[in-house]
Amino acid sequence: MDDTSTLLDPEADAGHAAEPARDERPDLRGLPLELLGRLLAELGERPFRARQLYRWLHQKGAASLDEMTDLGRDLRAALATRARLTTLERASEQRSEDGTIKWAWRTADGKLVESVYLPEPERKTLCVSTQVGCAVGCAFCLTATMGLSRNLTAAEIVEQVHRANRRIVELGEGTGPRPLTNLVFMGMGEPLANYKNLKLALELLLSEDGPNFSHRHVTVSTSGLVPLIAKFGAETPVKLAVSLNATTDAQRDALMPINKRYPIAALLDACRAFPMRNGRRITFEYVLLGGVNDTLEDARRLVGLLRGIPAKVNLIPYNENPGLGFAAPAPEAVQAFFDALVAKNVTAVVRKSRGRDISAACGQLAREGGPGRPIRAGGPKRPAPPAPPLAPVQPSSAGPTLAGTRSDR
């Protein structure tokens, strides 16, 4: 197996994980408007063609150059010679009894990644993946059993959104070209470990001539890559979610090996320094594991940890993955934990589990046959792949909410 020691190093190039092996032609789907303009200028085209092409790519989600019927045939032929166009193939589609849809997408080099559509009356959310697998190695997460194959390109990240939009329209569940209203980067992978491609994907998705998502409706989750949290906050306008899941370092070390490199104190210091412009506040995701981190003492410690941070807490009752050795919390433990937070004026919601019957719920995304051969329900127990070697850390509220559930990730 390749050395994974750099895969969580924000200063590293990440070697084999950075890009898929492919031809060197630029990918139209991953070019910002300015670079599309340069390419078209080299082809002798007038400046307005760049915006025209960009809108085909990112407003209409065109799957091929042939769809771009108001571009001349000669121009389309020239573009096909000078560039390529990433389009994901829908490898599978599963629909949950609650309306959730999980798609597996096949990349040009044969990798499979998953994204999940979460429809609700007031919004339509897509949970997006940023890597093929994951190197973080969280003990309770099925994706961790895959290991990391590679980063997704910006084009592949954005393309999940375009294919989902088009499929939702085909299914009669929304009107085009962009029925989706919200995006959460909480699928396969650690988004900040693929920072360069994540940032470009966000620029494309928020662009006025593209899908034009509101920054208030886009959330990126991290397991705690401390050096990149401030950078992410300064360079993007979208919201941050932090997967915390524990209230002591001993507890978090066992659940999330990244804590050995970036312990809770360093993580929360980074959160306190996070730019809170545009009404931002940080969402702390807390997976409740039965008998592990779901006690009233855990709740009291969590209140203390979050003091002084504009935040809300998403409590996530664990979605069981047979073979990983964890159990869901008792309903009364969830309610008691929630009540303890609210009593101290911590804004909290209990996340409603969606898509559990199709392995689409939080912590259940993985692909059979991928690196590490992920476990599925009923499969034999097998330990997650070893975490990357860990290095020392580099120097570097609102009122209560009524008890209830939310299905946003």
Catalytic residue among 34, 45, 114, 159: 114
Q: Which residues pair with 327 in a beta bridge?
A: none
pLDDT at 356: 61
Contact (CB, 8 A) for 245 and 287:
yes
Percent of the chain as helix, strand, coil, to the nearest 5: 35, 15, 50
pLDDT at 19: 58
Q: Are strands 112-120 and 123-127 parallel, antiparallel or unpaired?
A: antiparallel
pLDDT at 200: 98
Q: For 24-82, CATH number?
A: 1.10.150.530
Active site residue 271: no
Alpha-carbon span 40 to 32, nearest angstrom: 13
Q: How many angstroms separate the Cα of 358 from the Cα of each of 93, 145, 183, 254?
A: 10, 18, 20, 28
Contact (CB, 8 A) for 263 and 245:
no
pLDDT at 374: 41
Q: How many angstroms separate the Cα of 207 from the Cα of each of 187, 193, 201?
A: 22, 23, 10
Q: How many angstroms separate the Cα of 64 from the Cα of each of 39, 74, 84, 85, 261?
A: 18, 15, 10, 7, 44
Omega before 177 cis (within 30°)?
yes
Burial of 169 (0-12, 13-18, 19+ CB in 10 A): middle
Kindly state the tokens that stand for 63.
Answer: 């799957």
Active site residue 362: yes
Q: How many angstroms separate the Cα of 298 from the Cα of each of 265, 309, 329, 334, 352?
A: 16, 18, 13, 12, 21
- Radius of gyration (C-alpha) of the chain in whole angstroms: 21
Alpha-carbon span 96 to 31, nearest angstrom: 35
| pLDDT digits (tens), the chain, 409 positions | 333 344 566 555 444 455 555 678 999 999 999 999 999 999 999 999 999 999 999 999 999 999 999 999 999 999 999 999 999 999 999 999 999 999 999 999 999 999 999 999 999 999 999 999 999 999 998 888 889 999 999 999 999 999 999 999 999 999 989 999 999 999 999 999 999 999 999 999 999 999 999 999 999 999 999 999 999 999 999 999 999 999 999 999 999 999 999 999 999 999 999 999 877 899 999 999 999 999 999 999 999 999 999 999 999 999 877 778 899 999 999 999 999 999 999 999 998 876 566 555 454 445 544 443 443 333 333 333 333 333 333 333 333 333 333 444 5
pLDDT at 11: 52
- 123-156 in b/e form (b: 16+ CB < 10 A) is ebbbbbbbbbbbbbbbbbbbbbbbbbbbbbbbbb
Contact (CB, 8 A) for 363 and 287:
yes
Task: Count H helices and E strands in the chain, helices first.
Answer: 10, 13
pLDDT at 153: 97
Catalytic residue among 89, 159, 362, 368: 362
pLDDT at 353: 73
Closest C-alpha to 164, from 61, 234, 257, 64: 61
Cα pseudo-dihedral 318, 319, 321, 327, rounded to 10:
40
pLDDT at 294: 97
pLDDT at 144: 83
pLDDT at 319: 85
DSSP 21: S
CATH class of 89-406: alpha beta
Ranges of beta strands (E only) in 289-325 are: 311-317
pLDDT at 17: 58
The domain limits of the chain are 24-82, 89-406
